[in-house]
Amino acid sequence: MEDQQVDKLKSKYGGLPTQKGMLERRLKGGDKKHFDSADWAQDKASPPAERRPVEAASCP
Amino acid code (one letter) for 31: D
In a domain, 39, yes or no: yes
Containing structural domain, residue 7: 2-45
In a domain, 35, yes or no: yes
In a domain, 53, yes or no: no
C-alpha span between 48 and 50 (Å, rounded): 6
Q: What is the model's pLDDT at position 27?
A: 75
On whether the CB atoms of residues 32 and 43 are closer than 8 A, the answer is yes
Closest residue by Cα to residue 34 from 44, 25, 24: 44
1-34 per-position pLDDT tens digit: 888 998 888 888 887 777 777 777 777 765 677 7
Alpha helix segments (H runs only) across the chain: 2-13, 19-28, 37-45
CB atoms within 10 A of CB 40: 13
In a domain, 55, yes or no: no
Residue 49: which pLDDT band, with cuts at 50, 70 and 90?
low
